[in-house]
Amino acid sequence: MVSVETNWNRPYHIVVFGASGFTGQFVVEEVARTACEGPNGNLHWAVAGRSKQKLDKVLEQAAAALGRPELRTGIDTIIADVGEPDSLAAMCKQAVIVLNCVGPYRFYGEPVVKACVENGAHCIDICGEPQFLEGMQLNYHSQAAEKGVYIVGSCGFDSIPADMGVLYTRDQFRGTLTAVESFLTASSGPEGGCIHDGTWQSAIYGFADSGKLKSLRRKFNHKPLPTVGSKIKRRGALFYSNEIQQYALPFMGADPSVVKRTQRFLAEEYQQTPVQYGAYAGVGGLCNIVKMIFAGMMFWFLVKFSFGRNLLIKVTDRWLMEGSSFQFAFYGEGYTEGQDPSQGKPNGKIRTLVQGPEAGYVATPIAMVQAALTMLGEPKSLPREGGVYTPGAAFARTTLIDRLNKHGIQFSVL
């Protein structure tokens, strides 16, 4: 296992790569805000990217936002570019953990994973692209295991609330949890929601290439996970949810993929009962549905063609995030203590909640940085060997949920 202590070979606990990007700016501020939670209360960190001038500007903005003028000169900068492997290698050799904020990951993520594995740095990203996440597991898990390197993807809003939420629900259930459905709802501030280029491009290209994911998954040769209890019923493409009292549809993000990978790992590594999972998102009332159908038809048409994808990318906008929030409601069922899961139908239910601030650029940096601090502080609670992992697989036996609770992403039983 790569040591979590800094030394003359690895002077930094954390290097934020892509710090001058939109998301990277918020991650830098979150690292600065929580540096006192690092090893022995002192986190050594740096920022990395292509332009020294832009990195200096990021630190200047962080200093102004946090009222910390020492950030302007007290944090080191590293020049690194995904197109220059030598620069990535030099960066990785200086870091215990690289926080990779450069997306879309399908275009820019693999060189960073490769450099981290080859140069002994752990890597955490905030990718929401199943094709990239599963591709990295297929191609780099064995190498990472040999090196004792942990590559942990989807450590932002995609998919820590869902993945850790399922584990939290399992841990709070008194018995054997067998199935969970989650319902995501979000509220926007006075200026609406927020989306930015990297997130928007990930959605565009992810939807356009969804067919390639099936062929990728066949290469794993996985056996089907055993079904314990009643098989979860898949909902329709659009339905009225009594749980959240509004119309809902299947959640199209990375959460179902990530949760299933976690459940497979826990079943195979720790012989735990795999939890079936269904993910849905609330869309509101009938008026919203009409708007959504029209927008969905346009989106579906445009992503099929290169000119359409370029048009969608050009029309992205950035709105203010203040006042926005998200909420995941989890509805679980299983067998209570003393009941035999092989006999009869599940006889127990549980409801839990994960809620937090604006998903993309407030909750995501919190989740990413707390994942890194957990890795630094609790190495003995990580999986026994390195590899490419989901958040749930990597952090199931850590205090990550407790850390998130202290930073505004709340887990609770209803």
Q: Does the residue 2 lie in any domain?
A: no
pLDDT of res. 6: 60
pLDDT of res. 193: 45
pLDDT of res. 297: 62
Q: Which residue has the tokens 């720790």?
A: 270
CA atoms of 14 and 6, how far apart (whole Å): 10
pLDDT of res. 320: 44
pLDDT of res. 213: 85
What is the full DSSP assignment across 147-172?
HT-EEE---BTTBHHHHHHHHHHHHH
Q: Are residues 286 and 197 in the same domain?
A: yes
Q: Are residues 242 and 319 in the same domain?
A: yes
pLDDT of res. 263: 98
Q: Would you state the structure tokens that stand for residue 119, as one six-digit string? A: 């140069």
Q: What is the separation of C-alpha 63 from the centre of its chain, rounded to a whole number of angstroms?
A: 27
Q: Does the residue 7 lie in any domain?
A: no
pLDDT of res. 253: 84
Q: Which residues touch 41 (CB under 8 Å, ≥6 apart)?
A: none
Domain at 291, CATH number: 3.30.360
Strand partners, 353: 329, 412
Q: Does the residue 48 lie in any domain?
A: yes
Q: Are residues 173 and 250 in the same domain?
A: yes
Residues with pLDDT less than 70, the chain: 1-8, 189-210, 286, 288-323
Q: Residue 179 corresponds to which amino acid?
A: A
Q: Are residues 61 and 29 in the same domain?
A: yes
pLDDT of res. 289: 63
Structurally, the chain folds into a number of domains equal to 2
Q: Does the residue 311 lie in any domain?
A: yes
Q: Does the residue 217 lie in any domain?
A: yes
| H or E element that contains 306 | helix 306-314
Considering only CA atoms, which of 74, 78, 73 is closest in space to residue 24? 78
Domain residues for the domain of 105 are 12-156+361-413
Q: Are residues 146 and 173 in the same domain?
A: no
Q: Is residue 173 within 8 Å of 333, Cβ to Cβ?
A: no
Q: Are residues 310 and 397 in the same domain?
A: no
CA atoms of 7 and 17, how far apart (whole Å): 20
Query: What does each C-alpha distance from 31 to 16, 45, 186, 244 come to in angstroms?
Result: 9, 8, 25, 35
Q: Where are the beta strands (DSSP E) in 57-208?
A: 76-79, 95-100, 122-125, 150-152, 175-187
Q: Are residues 131 and 51 in the same domain?
A: yes
pLDDT of res. 196: 42
Burial string for 175-201 (b: 16+ CB within 10 Å, else e) reads bbbbbbbbbbbeebeeeebbebbbbbb
Q: Are residues 45 and 20 in the same domain?
A: yes
Q: Are residues 274 and 244 in the same domain?
A: yes
Q: Does the residue 65 lie in any domain?
A: yes
Supply the angle between the helices 197-208 and 210-218 in degrees, to the nearest 10: 70
CA atoms of 147 and 333, how far apart (whole Å): 39
Considering only CA atoms, which of 120, 103, 201 is closest in space to residue 156? 103
Q: Are residues 177 and 304 in the same domain?
A: yes
Q: Does the residue 107 lie in any domain?
A: yes
Q: Are residues 371 and 259 in the same domain?
A: no
Considering only CA atoms, which of 293, 280, 285, 172 is closest in space to residue 233? 280
Q: Is residue 293 within 8 Å of 305, Cβ to Cβ?
A: no
Q: Does the residue 1 lie in any domain?
A: no
Given 356, 381, 396, which residue is the final one in a domain?
Answer: 356
Q: Are residues 188 and 303 in the same domain?
A: yes
Q: What is the separation of C-alpha 115 from the centre of its chain, rounded to a whole number of angstroms?
A: 20
